[in-house]
């Protein structure tokens, strides 16, 4: 049978709906896959980052696109979790920290801040050199905003042995988002100069020496802010246990100012009503950083702040050795674990990396005295966003 040209064209057209249908099915399959992948990422981010919540005062430095995709993730995540428990839904909703700024200034394109002050935070007779250094951020465009518990990068001036720019070093931010002057345009650090002996020679750390020797007016390359591990919870009735050694006090100083400094309270409208307990480790009394501020807060807010010191070279533990914060944790095991049993309690650990095994050991013994297993409890606390650690 011979086909006319018209019949051939009509026959071809009749296949078009089938081809369109075929492409539609392929597209649908891909969109579904992408949606599932997005939700999976949102879920894993949730549990990786579920440390704390963004705060009331909105931080508007995140690029609009970041916020858009983050809120899309929240929406997807909420949808996929809508059949699960209320507790999980609540955690997911609060966990993305989408309004907490991160990497506004990357190490390759840092902001140049100006030093406004640089003073010692040690008393006479202290060991080493520890400085409180403040930078003016007021000319930053985009604004250099940060929240309590974040860190920043410092790129020391000069070059390394290979003639390359120095790599950035991280430092915990010691000020609140409002800065020490409450104007919201400064950032402060608490820096110990690294010094050690090698082959009979004193070696000075590159970045810490650079920072400790800065003078007001000096220009400094700053990147960041970075980090979401050490953020404070938003709830005003949270309980905050802080374990710090040396400059590990930096984020804790910011928390305590946020909780107890009158001008901060006025600015934030955040009325902390929980219990805060600071354990601070220092080699000598003269090395206790910001001690008079904390003593003052304690005297003004005796119901809300406890302050326990471990002064390693002046006090002995029960075995006659140096008194470390883990010994203080053991001494107070009962009360600490009573607090941990409350889901509103968060624990923050910052300072020497070396203290982590000691703290773990103390927590293991303390937990055991309450019939609890620390190796099971710690990951649970972490997963619930209640165990926050940053050591170096």
Q: Which residue number, 129 or 275, has a Cβ lying nearer to ligand A2P? A: 129
Kindly determine how many residues on this chain lie close enough to bind ligand FAD according to the rule CB under 6 A.
20
287 binds, among ligand A2P, ligand FAD, none (CB under 5 to 8 A by kind): ligand A2P
| Nearest distance in Å: CB 327, ligand A2P | 9
For residue 49, CA distances in Å to 36, 96, 111, 187, 260 come to 20, 7, 26, 24, 27
119 binds, among ligand A2P, ligand FAD, none (CB under 5 to 8 A by kind): none
Q: Which residue number, 168 or 233, has a Cβ lying nearer to ligand FAD? A: 168
**In the stretch 221-260, what mask flags binding to ligand FAD with x, by CB under 6 A?**
--------------------------x--x----------
Q: Which of 70, 88, 352, 365 binds ligand A2P (CB under 6 A)?
A: 352
Q: How far apart are the first and last CA of the chain?
A: 86
Q: Which two tokens stand for residue 62?
A: 């995140």
Question: Which is the catalytic residue, given 105, 146, 171, 297?
Answer: 171
Name which of 377, 354, 389, 333 is nearest 281 in CA terms: 354
Q: What angle do CA 13, 19, 23 make, to 5 degrees?
A: 150
121 binds, among ligand FAD, ligand A2P, none (CB under 5 to 8 A by kind): none
Name which of 219, 20, 213 is nearest 114 in CA terms: 219
Q: Which of 11, 24, 313, 316 binds ligand A2P (CB under 6 A)?
A: 313
Q: Which of 107, 165, 184, 205 binds ligand FAD (CB under 6 A)?
A: 205
100 touches ligand FAD by CB under 6 A: no
With residues binned 3-state (H G I as helix, E B as strand, rest as coil), the percentages for the chain, rounded to 5, are 40, 20, 40
Among 15-23, 262-270, 296-304, 321-329, the segment contacting ligand A2P (CB under 6 A) = 321-329
Name which of 143, 232, 234, 151 is nearest 188 in CA terms: 151
Q: Which residue number, 73 or 180, has a Cβ lying nearer to ligand FAD? A: 180
| Nearest distance in Å: CB 376, ligand FAD | 27
Q: How far is CA 333 from the centre of its chain?
A: 26
132 touches ligand A2P by CB under 6 A: no
| Nearest distance in Å: CB 294, ligand FAD | 17
DSSP notation for 49-82: HTT----SS----S-HHHHHHHHHHHHHHHHHHT
Q: What angle do CA 369, 374, 375 make, to 5 degrees?
A: 145
Among 41-49, 64-72, 83-91, 202-210, the segment contacting ligand FAD (CB under 6 A) = 202-210
Name which of 9, 212, 50, 188 is nearest 120 in CA terms: 212
345 touches ligand FAD by CB under 6 A: no
**Contact at 8 Å (CB) between 52 and 233?**
yes
Burial class of residue 143, CB neighbours in 10 A (0-12, 13-18, 19+): middle
**Contact at 8 Å (CB) between 163 and 105?**
no
Main-chain phi, psi angles of 60, to 5 degrees: -110, 35
208 touches ligand FAD by CB under 6 A: yes
Kindly determine how many residues on this chain lie close enough to bind ligand A2P according to the rule CB under 6 A.
17
> Is 196 known to be catalytic?
no
Q: Which of 54, 168, 251, 281 binds ligand A2P (CB under 6 A)?
A: 281
CA gyration radius, the chain: 27
Catalytic residues: 171-172, 350, 390, 392
**Residues binding ligand A2P (CB under 6 A):** 192, 245-246, 281-283, 287, 312-313, 322, 324-326, 352, 354-355, 358
**Residues binding ligand FAD (CB under 6 A):** 151, 169-172, 190-192, 194, 196, 198, 205-209, 247, 250, 390, 392
């Amino acid at each position: 049978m011979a086909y006319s040209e018209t019949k051939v064209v009509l026959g071809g057209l009749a296949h078009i709906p089938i081809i369109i249908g075929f492409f539609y099915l392929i597209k649908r399959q891909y969109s579904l896959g992408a949606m599932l992948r997005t939700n999976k990422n949102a879920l894993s981010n949730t549990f990786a980052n579920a440390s704390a919540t963004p705060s009331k005062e909105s931080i508007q430095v995140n690029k609009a696109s970041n916020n858009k995709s983050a809120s899309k993730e929240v929406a997807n995540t909420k949808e996929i979790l809508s059949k699960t428990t209320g507790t999980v839904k609540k955690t997911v909703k609060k966990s993305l920290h989408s309004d907490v700024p991160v990497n506004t200034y990357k190490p390759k394109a840092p902001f140049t801040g100006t030093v406004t002050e640089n003073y010692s935070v040690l008393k006479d007779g202290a060991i080493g050199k520890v400085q409180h250094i403040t930078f003016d951020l007021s000319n930053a465009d985009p604004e250099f905003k940060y929240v309590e518990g974040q860190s920043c990068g410092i790129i020391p001036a000069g070059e390394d042995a290979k003639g390359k720019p120095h790599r950035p070093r991280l430092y915990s931010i010691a000020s609140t988002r409002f800065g020490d002057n409450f104007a919201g345009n400064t950032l402060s650090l608490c820096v110990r100069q690294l010094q050690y002996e090698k082959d009979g020679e004193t070696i000075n750390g590159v970045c810490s020496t650079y920072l400790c020797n800065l003078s007001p007016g000096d220009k400094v390359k700053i990147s960041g802010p970075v980090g979401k591990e050490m953020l404070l919870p938003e709830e005003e009735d949270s309980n905050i246990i802080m374990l710090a050694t040396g400059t590990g006090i930096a984020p804790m100083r910011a928390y305590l100012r946020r909780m107890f400094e009158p001008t901060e309270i006025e600015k934030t409208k955040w009325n902390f009503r929980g219990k805060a307990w600071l354990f601070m480790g220092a080699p000598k009394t003269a090395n206790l950083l910001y001690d008079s501020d904390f003593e003052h807060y304690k005297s003004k807010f005796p119901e809300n702040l406890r302050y326990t010191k471990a002064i390693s070279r002046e006090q002995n533990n029960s075995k006659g050795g140096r008194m470390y914060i883990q010994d203080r944790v053991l001494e107070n095991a009962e009360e600490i674990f009573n607090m941990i049993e409350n889901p509103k309690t968060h624990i923050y650990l910052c300072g020497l990396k070396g203290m982590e095994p000691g703290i773990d050991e103390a927590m293991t013994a303390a937990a055991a005295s309450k019939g609890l297993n620390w190796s099971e409890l710690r990951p649970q606390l972490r997963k619930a966003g209640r165990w926050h650690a940053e050591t170096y």
